[in-house]
Amino acid sequence: MSDAVVEIDNVTKTYDTIVAVDSVSLRVPQGQTLGLIGPNGAGKTTLLRLIASLAKSDCGDIRVDGESVSRHPRSVRKKLGFMPAEFGSPRNLSIGEYLEYFGCMYGIPRSERPLRIKDVCELTDLSGREEVMVKGLSTGNRQRLLLAKTLLHDPQVLVLDEPASGLDPRARTELRTIVRELAAMGKTIIISSHILSDIEEISDRVGILEAGQLVLDGDLTELRSQYGATKRVVKLRVPTDKIEQAMQVVTNLEGVSSCERRDHSLVISCDEEDCNFILEAILKHGIRVLQFAEDEPDLEEIFMRSTAGKVT
């Protein structure tokens, strides 16, 4: 992919005996948003810090806009904005002072700072709050301020480490809207989360990290049709004393790819467009049906199932 802005080739990073990032290769095309998904400890932060040239890989290479992060870290940092997961910055300032302070740190000329600050405040919905102190900010506003800071030098690539973590549903939605706006401006974005559903809507691509390894990556629409759309999920509820029997009947049916017991129901993945054959088989065995309904295929579950066992 020649139009990739972020190119990661076979990168490994170890801490003592822990392989935090294990031979990862990944491409993010210009203007696309990549969702990097993985449970705690999967290596997301480590990978993002490597991309942002804040840590050094043991081997492999990362290029941002064609420039190697290990050989040209300064020039990469000019093109890239990194939003860390934690807000470890001075709090005894107002929003305006805070942005002024980081604008200065980033080397933005004094004369340009007011306009840049005005722009980033508009982008992150902080306009009019420049006088508010950082100290008492809600988590939502603090994340916006952290994002505003990340945008100060107008980077073309944004690397956001779990920006939605700790936010309430409303603040999450607002954050998604802002990220979508940034994507519409043509930014290339890498955003991490431990929940796929959190960033599914805003991602063009997704990469799943497990124990340092990239177990799945690709275009979300393609992955969805590959793993999701061909499968339908139905929920079947029968009397409790019949659940074992129903499970046996369903598992033996051709066209059923999985059947799992969840509480008092069976959750069945079915390869066919029309899942009524399941209902018919159950009824034929004289089992009473309390509920038979189609469920949204849970993309995350499908991904996780498809990647299960790849990491040992």
Ligand X SMILES: Nc1ncnc2c1ncn2[C@@H]1O[C@H](COP(=O)(O)OP(=O)(O)O)[C@@H](O)[C@H]1O
How many residues touch ligand X under the rule CB under 6 A: the total is 11
17 binds, among ligand X, Mg ion, none (CB under 5 to 8 A by kind): none
Number of Cβ within a 10 Å radius of residue 308:
10
Q: Does 196 bind ligand X (CB under 6 A)?
A: no
Q: Does 38 bind ligand X (CB under 6 A)?
A: yes
CA distance to 79, 109, 214, 264, per residue, from 85 (Å)? 20, 28, 21, 39
Q: Which is nearer to ligand X, 36 or 259 (CB)?
A: 36
| Residues, the chain | 312
Tokens 């990340």 belong to residue: 150
Q: Does 311 bind ligand X (CB under 6 A)?
A: no
Q: Does 203 bind Mg ion (CB under 5 A)?
A: no
CB of 259 to ligand X, least distance (A): 32
197 binds, among ligand X, Mg ion, none (CB under 5 to 8 A by kind): none
Residues of this chain, 13-32, that bind ligand X according to CB under 6 A: 15, 18, 20
46 binds, among ligand X, Mg ion, none (CB under 5 to 8 A by kind): ligand X
Q: Choose, by CB under 6 A, the member of 7, 11, 35, 43 that binds ligand X.
A: 43
CB of 197 to ligand X, least distance (A): 17
Q: Does 8 bind ligand X (CB under 6 A)?
A: no
Q: Does 45 bind ligand X (CB under 6 A)?
A: yes
Q: Does 44 bind ligand X (CB under 6 A)?
A: yes
Q: Does 46 bind Mg ion (CB under 5 A)?
A: no
Cβ atoms of residues 239 and 288 within 8 Å = yes
H-only helix segments in the chain: 44-51, 73-79, 95-105, 113-123, 139-151, 169-184, 196-199, 220-223, 243-251, 276-284, 299-307
188 binds, among ligand X, Mg ion, none (CB under 5 to 8 A by kind): none
Q: Choose, by CB under 6 A, the member of 29, 41, 60, 297 that binds ligand X.
A: 41
Axis crossing angle, helix 169-184 with helix 139-151, rounded to the nearest 10? 20
Q: Does 199 bind ligand X (CB under 6 A)?
A: no
Q: Which is nearer to Mg ion, 84 or 103 (CB)?
A: 84
* Phi, psi of 171, rounded to the nearest 5 degrees: -65, -30
Cβ atoms of residues 95 and 129 within 8 Å = yes
Token output for 134: 């950082």
Q: Give the residue among 30, 45, 35 at the shortest CA–CA distance from 161.
A: 45
Number of Cβ within a 10 Å radius of residue 154:
14
CB of 88 to Mg ion, least distance (A): 14
CB of 47 to Mg ion, least distance (A): 9
- Long-range contacts from 229-232, C-beta under 8 angstroms, 24+ separation: 229/297, 230/271, 231/257, 231/269, 231/270, 231/271, 231/297, 231/302, 232/269, 232/270, 232/272, 232/273, 232/275, 232/294, 232/297
15 binds, among Mg ion, ligand X, none (CB under 5 to 8 A by kind): ligand X
Q: Which is nearer to ligand X, 43 or 96 (CB)?
A: 43
Q: How far is CA 114 from the centre of its chain?
A: 32
Q: Which is nearer to ligand X, 38 or 163 (CB)?
A: 38
Q: Does 45 bind Mg ion (CB under 5 A)?
A: yes
Residues that bind Mg ion (CB under 5 A): 44-45
Residues that bind ligand X (CB under 6 A): 15, 18, 20, 38, 40-46
